[in-house]
């Protein structure tokens, strides 16, 4: 079977597991280049590969989503930094159920 040289919007939306509307928005913003065959938009496989390669996140071996940072001289104060609802829930849980005196929850910019 020959390798595909281009995909339709529907095929790419299924490959990336996003809606066709999301993909049309990406095309409109210029994130993914397209060409037309008649009225149908097509995405070249090389352009799709470049898009995927450029949007991969870099993972480090030492990555930890939660790294406690102790504040000042008091080891019973902890700082949690991030923008996740789970962190908010964690902060409330720690405040109610732990030995930590105070909890500072900051949001990274």
Region 79-107 average pLDDT:
70
Distance CA 32, CA 7 (A): 12
Domain boundaries defined on the chain: 6-54, 69-106
Q: Which helix (H) or strand (E) holds 11?
A: helix 9-16
Give the neighbor-by-neighbor strand order of the sheet with 6-8. 6-8, 40-44, 35-37
| Tens digits of residue pLDDT in 46-65 | 999 999 999 887 765 555 55
> Has this prediction a pTM greater than 0.75?
no
């Amino acid at each position: 079977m020959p390798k595909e040289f281009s995909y339709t919007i529907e095929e790419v939306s299924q490959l990336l597991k996003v809606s066709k509307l999301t993909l049309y928005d990406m095309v409109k913003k210029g994130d993914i280049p397209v060409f037309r065959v008649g009225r149908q938009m097509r995405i070249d496989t090389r352009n799709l590969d470049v898009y995927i390669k450029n949007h991969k996140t870099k993972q480090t071996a030492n990555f930890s989503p939660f790294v406690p940072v102790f504040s000042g001289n008091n080891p019973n104060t902890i700082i949690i930094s991030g923008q996740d609802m789970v962190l908010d829930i964690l902060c409330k849980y720690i405040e109610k159920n732990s030995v930590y005196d105070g909890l500072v929850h900051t949001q990274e910019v």
